């Protein structure tokens, strides 16, 4: 296997299992895993706290004073907002949509993409998000578009919420997921879409182990070739 740093881009809609699969494959291949959605979530949380998520100019102005940092503590990604560890807070209800809202602003994307590219520099990395293959890592060793039916993604999200002790009705989870997917695929700036050279992997009806095995096989093939 090549010892050159490699990069794997995993894009796809909400709840497709990107982070779970990326984390598992990164551990097996000894690569850094970067969850880019966490950065948009941290900025969304910042704007929520200011009560100004929908105010485009306020969002752009906030880029001058927001302080978002990523640290890896015992191998796990933590995200800091002005020095406060918001790793748990960014998963709270309402933050997903706020993240999607602020992520549509091109100035926000430019800032986040630069930060993501800087973190990845010189490392073997697996990144997940919406624009990794199209924008952040255009020369990635492997690009995956990970997807699953909306119904299956909503079922998985419901199970996850139940396990966290925060159950939500299936219909609500499905509706919110569809709204967010619509917004993420229809924005003008770097909309979610498969890169021209991405391999699409549909995980509908697959177990996590099967999905991890598929991505690991594709990754080893791509790394072996480059
Ligand atoms: O991956 P996630 O659900 O944590 O991401 C939250 C939102 O952030 C998502 O709805 C769209 C946005 N996002 C993005 O625009 N680009 C990325 N690379 C990652 C996330």
For residue 99 and ligand 1, the question of a CB distance below 6 A is answered with yes
Q: Cβ distance 110 to 116 under 8 Å? A: no
Is pLDDT above 60 for 1? Answer: no
Number of domains in the chain: 1
Q: For residue 132, what pLDDT is reported?
A: 98
Q: For residue 179, what pLDDT is reported?
A: 96
Looking at the DSSP bridge assignments, the partners of residue 201 are 146
CA-proximal residue: ligand 1, atom 2 (nearest): 37
- How far CA 30 is from CA of 3, 125, 177, 194, in Å, comes to 11, 9, 32, 25
Tokens representing 163 are 């396990």
For residue 152 and ligand 1, the question of a CB distance below 6 A is answered with no
The C-alpha atoms of residue 186 and residue 210 are separated, in whole angstroms, by 31
Is pLDDT above 90 for 189? Answer: yes
The C-alpha atoms of residue 168 and residue 182 are separated, in whole angstroms, by 21
What is the domain range of residue 187?
7-225
Q: For residue 2, what pLDDT is reported?
A: 52
Q: For residue 39, what pLDDT is reported?
A: 98
Q: Using the 8-state DSSP alphabet, how is residue 11 labeled?
A: E
Characterize the bridge pairing of strands 84-85 and 76-81: antiparallel
CATH number, residue 132: 3.40.50.300
φ, ψ dihedrals at 16, nearest 5°? -80, -10
User: For residue 103, is it within any domain?
Assistant: yes
Question: CA-based angle 67:68:71, to the nearest 5?
Answer: 130
For residue 157 and ligand 1, the question of a CB distance below 6 A is answered with no
Span 192-214, average pLDDT: 96
User: For residue 2, is it within any domain?
Assistant: no
User: For residue 125, is it within any domain?
Assistant: yes
User: For residue 105, is it within any domain?
Assistant: yes
User: For residue 165, is it within any domain?
Assistant: yes
CA-proximal residue: ligand 1, atom 4 (nearest): 37
The C-alpha atoms of residue 25 and residue 217 are separated, in whole angstroms, by 10
User: For residue 212, is it within any domain?
Assistant: yes
150: Cβ contacts below 8 Å, ≥ 6 apart:
13, 174, 177, 178, 181
Q: For residue 152, what pLDDT is reported?
A: 96
Q: For 119-133, how does the pLDDT look when each residue is reduced to its tens digit (9 = 90+)?
A: 999 999 999 999 999
Q: For residue 226, what pLDDT is reported?
A: 75
Q: For 23-51, how does the pLDDT look when each residue is reduced to its tens digit (9 = 90+)?
A: 999 999 999 999 999 999 999 999 999 99
User: For residue 1, is it within any domain?
Assistant: no
Is pLDDT above 60 for 115? Answer: yes
Give the number of the atom of ligand 1 that is nearest the alpha carbon of residue 15: 3
Q: For residue 75, what pLDDT is reported?
A: 87
147 alpha carbon to ligand 1 midpoint, in Å? Answer: 14
Q: For 133-178, how does the pLDDT look when each residue is reduced to its tens digit (9 = 90+)?
A: 999 999 999 999 999 999 999 999 999 889 989 899 999 999 999 9
Give the number of the atom of ligand 1 that is nearest the alpha carbon of residue 97: 10
For residue 48 and ligand 1, the question of a CB distance below 6 A is answered with no
Q: For 59-113, how does the pLDDT look when each residue is reduced to its tens digit (9 = 90+)?
A: 999 999 999 999 999 989 999 999 999 999 999 889 999 999 999 999 999 999 9
1 alpha carbon to ligand 1 midpoint, in Å? Answer: 32
User: For residue 155, is it within any domain?
Assistant: yes
Q: For residue 4, what pLDDT is reported?
A: 86
């Amino acid at each position: 296997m090549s010892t050159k740093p490699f990069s794997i881009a995993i894009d796809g809609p909400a709840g497709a299992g990107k982070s779970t699969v990326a984390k598992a494959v990164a551990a097996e291949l000894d690569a850094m895993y970067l969850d880019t959605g966490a950065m948009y979530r941290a900025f969304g949380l910042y704007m929520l706290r200011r009560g100004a998520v929908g105010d485009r100019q306020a969002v752009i102005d906030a880029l001058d004073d927001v302080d978002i940092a990523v640290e890896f503590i015992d191998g796990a990604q933590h995200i800091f907002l002005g020095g406060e560890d918001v790793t748990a807070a960014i998963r709270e209800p309402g933050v997903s949509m706020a993240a999607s809202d602020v992520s549509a602003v091109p100035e926000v994307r430019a800032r986040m993409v630069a930060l993501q590219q800087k973190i990845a520099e010189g490392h073997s990395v697996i990144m997940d998000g919406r624009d990794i293959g199209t924008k952040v890592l255009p020369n990635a060793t492997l690009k995956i578009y990970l997807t699953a039916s909306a119904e299956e993604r909503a079922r998985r999200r419901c199970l996850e919420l139940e396990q966290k002790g925060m159950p939500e009705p299936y219909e609500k989870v499905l509706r919110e997921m569809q709204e967010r997917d619509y917004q993420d695929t229809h924005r003008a700036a770097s909309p979610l879409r498969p890169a021209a050279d991405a391999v699409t992997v549909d995980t509908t009806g697959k177990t996590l182990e099967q999905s991890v095995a598929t991505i690991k096989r594709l990754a080893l093939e791509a790394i072996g070739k480059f």
